[in-house]
């Protein structure tokens, strides 16, 4: 038993790789009991590495660990009638089933949506695909790298050529939207007593986060290009070279522009830069002016000056620096868990906190990602109870 706002929910996670596992982990972080149903060979991401930890039969993928905390692992071979019967009994008890098979695979395994709802009319089904469950390209495989390109994100990321984001952002966003849809369906179920199917895709997630870059085209008729390290609609807002490390500045209002000019001894009404629109038009000249000024002093000097002036600014931290930063630690964003074979581990935490709790996620204790089939016996015993 767990605690947390979703502690009364049972989630069956039939997904693998990242989008679906991330969605299920979000619910697990909030206290839901999540049973990860894996094939005999396990989630694909168990083999993604290096880096791995552990040796030989106890080797574990750090990639897998990133998306599977707060879960139990049950191995089922869904080509086996006996194991399909186990899944059917789990479905009868579950609140949510998540799957990211290609369209039609779950049907061929004997679990079309109609049967799932015959077994459990209250079941919420989350289906995550690559490009949507219908339409002319529904059967395409969904991989993050491809979705980042096809969904337009790479066309606005980078400086000299399209660049993917440094994490599988299409997977992660689809997972977040999927969890968001599940919670809405659970709320509806509290009124209707019936489940429904929630659908999203990597493509939908990419289009869903276009934000102002999308309306630049749909409303403004402008095709966005590579944004690089500077905001296309606000200036100065981006990364600037100094005598040592780069410094980021977010000058998002005229008041902040005046504060920046005060710190630098500049005239904020200078004709070339008097308004944000002019600063965007003349961005190259403004960037050159700032970087010429910054070249004579280290980053720490300029960060201190900007902070004193009230201008938002910051470093570009590497991962080791992020996870050693006292502000990150103060937000409960680094969790300690005990792994079945690897002992004590540190994992990134949930980005959600409730009330004044000092840790992230809605539960008071987090559980390490499971080894393959770690909970086979306990889950089967529970099903027989």
Catalytic position from the list 231, 301, 339, 366: 231
User: 């990133």: which residue's tokens?
Assistant: 66
Please tell me the total number of residues recorded for the chain in this structure. Answer: 385
- Helices (DSSP H) in 134-168: which residue ranges? 144-150
Is 133 annotated as catalytic?
A: no
> What DSSP element (H or E) covers 17?
none
Tokens (6 digits) for 301: 């000097």
- Cα Dmax for the chain: 78
Retrieve residue 110's tokens: 């004997």
* Strand partners for 73: 36
Give the sign of the dihedral formed by CA 170, CA 176, CA 182, CA 185: negative
Q: How far apart are CA 38 and CA 36, in angstroms?
A: 6
d(C-alpha 306, C-alpha 312), whole Å: 7
Contact 74, 372 (CB under 8 A): no
Q: How many CB atoms lie within 10 A of CB 58?
A: 13
Q: How far is CA 43 from CA 63, 68, 74, in A?
A: 11, 10, 11
Catalogue the active-site residues. 231
């Amino acid at each position: 038993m767990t605690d947390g706002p979703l502690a009364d929910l049972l989630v069956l996670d039939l997904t693998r790789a990242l989008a679906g596992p991330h969605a299920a982990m979000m619910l697990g972080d909030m206290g839901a009991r999540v049973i990860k149903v894996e094939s005999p060979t396990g989630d694909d991401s168990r083999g993604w590495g290096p880096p791995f930890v552990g040796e030989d039969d106890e080797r574990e993928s750090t990639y897998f660990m990133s998306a599977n905390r707060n879960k139990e692992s049950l191995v089922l071979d869904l080509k086996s009638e006996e194991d399909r019967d186990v899944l059917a009994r789990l479905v009868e008890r579950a609140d949510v089933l998540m799957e990211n098979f290609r369209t039609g695979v779950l049907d061929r395994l004997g679990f079309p949506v109609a049967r799932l709802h015959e077994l459990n009319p209250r079941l919420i089904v989350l289906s995550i695909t690559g490009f949507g469950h219908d339409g002319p390209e529904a059967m395409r495989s969904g991989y993050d790298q491809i979705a980042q390109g096809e969904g337009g994100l790479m066309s606005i990321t980078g400086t000299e050529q399209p660049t993917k984001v440094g994490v599988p952002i299409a997977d992660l966003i689809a997972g977040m939207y999927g969890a968001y849809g599940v919670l809405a369906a659970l709320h509806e179920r509290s009124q209707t007593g019936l489940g429904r199917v929630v659908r999203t895709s990597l493509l939908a997630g990419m289009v869903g986060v276009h934000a102002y870059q999308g309306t630049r085209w749909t409303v403004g008729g402008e095709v966005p290009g590579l944004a690089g390290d500077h905001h296309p609609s606000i200036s100065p807002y981006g990364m600037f070279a100094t005598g040592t490390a780069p410094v980021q500045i977010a000058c998002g209002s005229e008041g902040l522009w005046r504060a920046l000019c005060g710190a630098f001894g500049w005239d904020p009404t200078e004709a070339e830069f008097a308004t944000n629109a002019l600063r965007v038009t003349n961005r190259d000249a403004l960037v050159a002016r700032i970087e010429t000024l910054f070249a004579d002093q280290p980053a720490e000097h300029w960060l201190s000056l900007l902070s004193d002036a009230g201008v938002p600014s910051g470093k570009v931290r590497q991962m080791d620096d992020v996870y050693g930063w006292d502000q990150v630690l103060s937000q409960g964003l680094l969790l300690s868990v005990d792994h079945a074979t690897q002992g004590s581990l540190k994992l990134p935490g949930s980005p959600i906190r409730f009330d004044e709790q000092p840790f992230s996620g809605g539960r008071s204790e987090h559980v390490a990602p499971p080894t393959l089939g770690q909970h086979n016996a306990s889950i089967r015993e529970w099903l027989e109870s």
